[in-house]
Amino acid sequence: MGSVTDKQASIDKGEQVFYKTYNRFPVIFDRGNGVCLYDSEGNEYLDFGAGIAVAGLGYNDPEYNQALTEQMGRLLHCSNLFYNQPAIDAGEKLLKVSQMEKVFFTNSGTEAVEGALKIAKRYAYNRDGHGGHEIIAMKHSFHGRSLGALSVTGNDHYQEPFAPLLPGIKFADFNDLDSVKALVNDKTCGVIMETIQGEGGIYPATEEFLKGVEALCHERDMLLILDEIQCGMGRSGFMFAWQEYGVKPDVMLAAKALGNGVPVGAFLARGRAATAMGPGDHGTTYGGNPFVCRAADTVLRLFERRHILEHVREVGAYLWDKLEQVAKNHDRVKAHRGKGLMQGLEFDCPVGGMVTKALLEQRLVLISAGANVIRFVPPLVITKEDVDHMVERLEKVI
């Protein structure tokens, strides 16, 4: 266990070595167990961030660890020039729970977004026999940091220094169908959105909007791409958030909780989107390797066996009631939004970073989503008792 001076020395060293693209909180996490994290000084934190919605099954799960340990001693990597059984198994399970037809495993969420954008462009190229197509994305969206994903991320602050980005991207207002319709033309090949906007402040799509965009996509022969990287994998109380809406995307994206901590994402497609790209159109060296796919396969197996969706609905409803109470108790809380175990409280001023910092001192990990919103994305295995403990500490800090 490190001393305070060791800790500061490590943090200083970190600041020396890392390319500075983050302002980090002064905590060194050392290990995790269940829904708790432990820092380098041995302090226990209740975790309502899950490493940004990643650790769905929590930390140090014995069955998950055993599967990965076994796989490590067998084979980590073999490239996509060959088959590997964990990828076949994970793929089969993922298609079953997503109602999709084809899967491509990536190393991250951002890369899943890249794949989806390529499908949309390839689809329209097959359709029209030429390139130059356009994609409609949403304002206040977040799809990742690579140049393609950044191009569809509706945030000027993130985009401006890196211009010019992908041409032909237009931004509509989320939950405003007319604003999407106004941007469609003969060159449009797809619409991309998060089913529940995450980084933008926890905004669920309305049913009317999602159904309207789906109908528009059918009508104009465009692809509906749903980014479920944050809201998917059980977080909304449904395996994928769109499954609650009575719609069906042509392409959908998963990552974050898919691997429970190992880097794995996926894009999935169905219908004509499932065959739009062919051999030579896309690839990856690591993506879908046996190690990460063994993780994804194990996550999907444990989700089913442990009835994670039912659990999320129950604890999510409990969290909802508790946060409604918090919102009522405090005038500065302006709104409460979300579904399942993806909820947010919006304040009337930019408190996000401040609240997070104060809560860390209370040994509670909570992250923000934009300046005014604090975000609740705990491990999905969190209990009602954990929710009570969290609310106690939150009330103190507000």
CB of 224 to ligand PLP, least distance (A): 15
Q: Determine how many CB atoms are found less than 10 A away from the CB of residue 380.
A: 28
CA 264 to chain centre: 12
Closer residue to ligand PLP, CB minimum distance, 194 or 250: 194
Q: Which is nearer to ligand PLP, 247 or 252 (CB)?
A: 252
Q: In angstroms, give the least distance from the CB of 254 to ligand PLP.
A: 10
CB of 18 to ligand PLP, least distance (A): 17
Q: Supply the minimum distance, in Å, between the C-beta of residue 199 and ligand PLP.
A: 6
Q: How far is the CB of 148 from ligand PLP (least distance, A)?
A: 11
How are beta strands 36-39 and 44-47 bridged, if at all? antiparallel
| Residue 190 or 393 having the CB closest to ligand PLP | 190
Give the shortest CB-149-to-ligand PLP separation in angstroms: 7
Strands (E), the chain: 29-33, 36-39, 44-47, 102-106, 134-138, 169-172, 188-194, 196-197, 203-204, 223-227, 251-254, 265-269, 333-339, 342-347, 364-365, 367-368, 373-376
| φ, ψ of residue 333 in degrees (nearest 5) | -85, 120
- The encoded tokens of residue 309 equal 């969706």
The residue (of 40 and 368) whose beta carbon lies closer to ligand PLP is 368
Nearer to ligand PLP, 49 or 109 (CB): 109
Give the C-alpha separation, 93 to 81, whole Å: 22
Closest distance between ligand PLP and the C-beta of residue 73, in Å? 27
Burial class (CB in 10 A: 0-12, 13-18, 19+), 191: buried
Min dist. Cβ of residue 150 to ligand PLP (A): 10
The closest residue (CB) to ligand PLP is: 109
Residue 258 burial by Cβ neighbours in a 10 Å radius (0-12, 13-18, 19+): buried
108 or 298: whose CB is closer to ligand PLP? 108
In terms of CB distance, is 61 or 114 closer to ligand PLP?
114
Judge contact between 64 and 87, C-beta under 8 A.
no
Nearer to ligand PLP, 40 or 110 (CB): 110
Residues that bind ligand PLP (CB under 6 A): 108-110, 113, 142-144, 194, 198-199, 227, 229-230, 255-256
Query: Which of 241, 169, 249, 176 lies closest to 215 in space, CA to CA?
Result: 249
* Spatial contact of 242 and 268, defined as CB atoms under 8 Å apart: no
